[in-house]
Amino acid sequence: MYPNRKYPLITSRFSCFMIALLAGAILPFAFAPHHLWPLSIFSPALLLMIWQSPSQEPKLAFLSGLGFGLGMFGVGVSWVFISVHRYGNTDIPMASFITLLLVLSLAFFIATQGYCLKRFFKGNNTAFLLLGFPSSWVLFEWIRSWAFTGFPWLYLGYTELHTPLSGYGPILSVYGISLVVALNAGALVALFKGNKNAKILACFLVISTWGLGTLLTQFSFTTASPTKHTVSLVQGNIAPFDKFSQEDPIGATEKTYGRLTETHWGTELILWPESAVPLSLPYSQDYINQLQIMAEAADSTLITGIQVKNAQGEYHNSLIALGNGKGIYHKFHLLPFGDFVPFQQGLRGLINFFDIPMSSFTEGPKNQELITAGKLKLDPLICYEIAFPELVRSTLRNADAIITLSEDGWFGDSWGPHQHLEIAQMRALETGRYVLRATTSGITAIINAKGQIIGRIPQFHAMVLQGTFESMQGETPWVRIGLWPLLIVLILMFILPGRFRILS
């Protein structure tokens, strides 16, 4: 151990772990539904102060990072326990164990970041604070987006939707905003612990990043068509299992969604949520034909979630456009244990959680056609898919708007639906497109091209949200260029200081 007289608390393994754990536990309050965005800077800054201590060798940095991750994800994704226990019909000890395994696996990314950072940056200099930490944070966020099918949740950038830093979204995506937030965290530590030159540079970076962000919020990279389009988003508030357990599932759907929709026929676009029609095609074909006739007669496009059985006997989690609309979309990026069970031959039957209804879907093909609603082209996404920035960018293809159907009832009355909505807001900001979000039990919303919610339905209310949206044309820099330029910059930020003693 190296002595640290100025910060005596960060000299023992236990105290480092506990401080990091508490620092991580407060970070989720920066996200929805609390939006205490300053914590997105202060919380990582606390972790960085621990990592910057001379006592933090790589192994200790791993341990501190693990504590931070346990606090961050233990609080931030605690809603997973509700899904596993209440809707997975799993007892409390087993549900707790499964949730802990997920939290541990996510915490491992931050722990590994700390290990790599301390191993590569031998000193505790300005480069460590302003180059190594921000770049490594975002690189590990990116790795988390695809490792083990990906879990792109609780990115730092999501906390800045209501601050000037949101201006970076259409250019650099949520990853770029995360970089700026992490850079500000590093600058905050430099102001407290750096030398004179480091403090001057830190002040410059804070002022310039916030000033440029403010300027960028004034720009619009996409333009709206002169005609506004009407939309009705239907939230049925049917519990996840209820839709599948009815003796007459089509009758139950018609009783809820049919009743809510009957006064909204004639709206240009009507959205029902994921699996709103619980009986799969082709078994629900007669009901789909009835909806087709009603939608055509009303000059409307109805888009609804439905399961589809293909010729090989495999099931897809899908949505279909009826009436004036055309197209069918099969969910491409499936959620493990939600849409499918990995290693299902060995796991099926072990516990109830591995046998939940409709968890044997097959992924849809890549490069599917856009859904049409009259002359509108819509980019379709189902539930979890909205969380992947690169997936949304790749499927956009000059669509007029984005639609996303979801079943957030699995999260119960937790932070999960609010975080999911926040993620959808970021996709609107990044792409410069309206996002129309229909969910079974909330939160259904209309999000404009700046990522702002212009209409919403509270959770657990059976209601219809009627509003208007605009067809957006053009591409944001993020949609046009993508992630690779930013990744190259991040890698250079991490590698070059170690070779050339930059900012030492």
The residue ranges of DSSP E strands in 367-431, in sequence order, are 371-373, 376-382, 401-406
Q: What was the pLDDT predicted at 357?
A: 53
Q: What are phi and psi for residue 447, nearest 5 degrees?
A: -120, 130
Any catalytic annotation for residue 262?
Answer: no
357 or 408, which is more confident: 408
Rounded Cα distance, 144 and 154, in Å: 11
Quick one: average pLDDT of 352-359?
51
Q: Which amino acid is at 300?
A: S
Q: What percent of the chain has pLDDT over 90?
A: 75
Quick one: average pLDDT of 131-153?
95
Confidence of residue 351 (pLDDT cuts 50, 70, 90): very low
Query: Which tens digits make up the pLDDT trace of 429-476?
Result: 999 999 999 999 989 999 999 999 999 999 999 999 999 999 999 999
Q: What was the pLDDT predicted at 245?
A: 61
Q: What are phi and psi for residue 112, nearest 5 degrees?
A: -65, -35
Quick one: average pLDDT of 170-184?
98
Average pLDDT value over all residues in the chain: 90
Q: What was the pLDDT predicted at 240?
A: 75
Candidates 141, 160, 268, 274; catalytic one: 274
Which value, in Å, is the radius of gyration of the alpha carbons in the chain? 24
Any catalytic annotation for residue 274?
Answer: yes
Rounded Cα distance, 474 and 449, in Å: 12
Quick one: average pLDDT of 329-340?
80
Query: Which tens digits make up the pLDDT trace of 301-316?
Result: 999 999 999 989 899 9
Question: Does the pLDDT at position 284 exceed 50?
Answer: yes
Candidates 331, 377, 385, 430; catalytic one: 331
Any catalytic annotation for residue 255?
Answer: no
- Contact in structure between 427 and 386 (CB atoms under 8 Å): yes
Candidates 16, 116, 118, 383; catalytic one: 383
DSSP 3-state of 360 = coil
The first and second tokens of residue 305, run together, are 């979630």
- Residue (of 177, 173, 168) closest to 388 by Cα position: 173
Confidence of residue 409 (pLDDT cuts 50, 70, 90): confident
